[in-house]
A = this chain, B = another copy of it.
């Protein structure tokens, strides 16, 4: 929560515009975050994960600061180009791409692509041929599976392949005339263990060695994202991640360090945003004095807080009564969907004096909120967003 956000919200209320929830994102915080990453990992290029928050103001700030960009779709590539970054600073990092989208990306100048199987390599080779792009200029990196111990949101096995298979995938790329460029992995979202990169870097180094034996010189290790943002619990400083990653790199690669890139998304914008919402209803389900309160906000799972799914992310919530006594409540969203409940298994503690009409501030909501919002579920409009 910054003074700039506080002032923006004060003015918005004064002008009577505060009907409906909104996200306010402070670009000064994004700037600080970028600089922290750049300092903590000085030899590593930063590829901002655009999906975390694709607001044009965020992209153009990061483009000015020298950031590169990890994109998931052609639309995201176009947003990054429109924000002033050149195509050589863009990675098409989704391992699941339509061949025609690869072709469009190549036409837009993108030359760096993620894969995790041979079929995806073949799409890229065919798309390069179809668009007349020199295959030797097209770099592919293969994502490997890695366990996510220590992550608050461990990833499924959706992306990546077994390390042994990655060798075959990269060799296949090499055989088709593409540049077999490196290896990527992701240690899990909101990763609180700074040592989590060690095992995956061990696998990456083994792939580098085996590819070397087959005459293929890999260049790059993509360290992925996973850098946490502060919600309720404290998190290690970015510097601690930088040191730990550097130690693991040295341990596994010796003095032949590869190029490295990171893909922070949440870590870049999460703490830059605050959502202002309103209490719509406070009620109980029976007259039993001991029954827990239900507090209903005008934002829920379908309005931007999708990451409360399975109660994974617990956002800090500030109210105007925070000095009062707290009591547990079930926190829910405003839709007629019974799944639109934010915290119930582990009730959320809020002031007993909280009332209908009160504003609440949901902190750490700069990432994965605006774009997750549904188009118009129950007729509620998507989350408004202000970048200041």
Contacts and interface: CB of A to CB of B under 8 A. Distances in A.
So how many copies of this chain end up in the complex? 2
A74 B379 contact: yes
A294 interface: yes
A19 B99 CA distance: 12
B370 A285 contact: no
Contacts of A168: 287
A374 B373 contact: yes
A220 to B, nearest CB: 19
A380 interface: yes
Interface in A269-286: 278, 280-286
A376 B339 contact: no
A164 B287 contact: yes
A97 B280 contact: yes
A155 interface: yes
A165 interface: yes
Given A158-B341, A338-B158, A379-B51, A96 B309 contact: no
A286 B169 CA distance: 11
B162 A285 contact: yes
Nearest to A281: B96
A99 B119 CA distance: 56
Interface in A66-80: 71-76, 79
5 contacts: A51-B335, A74-B379, A76-B379, A98-B278, A156-B344
Interface of A: 19, 49-51, 54, 71-76, 79, 93-100, 116-117, 119-120, 123, 145, 155-162, 164-165, 168, 189, 278, 280-287, 294, 296, 298, 302, 306, 309, 332, 334-341, 344, 356-357, 370-382
By Cβ-Cβ distance, the 6 closest A-B pairs, closest first, are: A75-B379, A117-B283, A73-B379, A155-B338, A162-B286, A76-B379
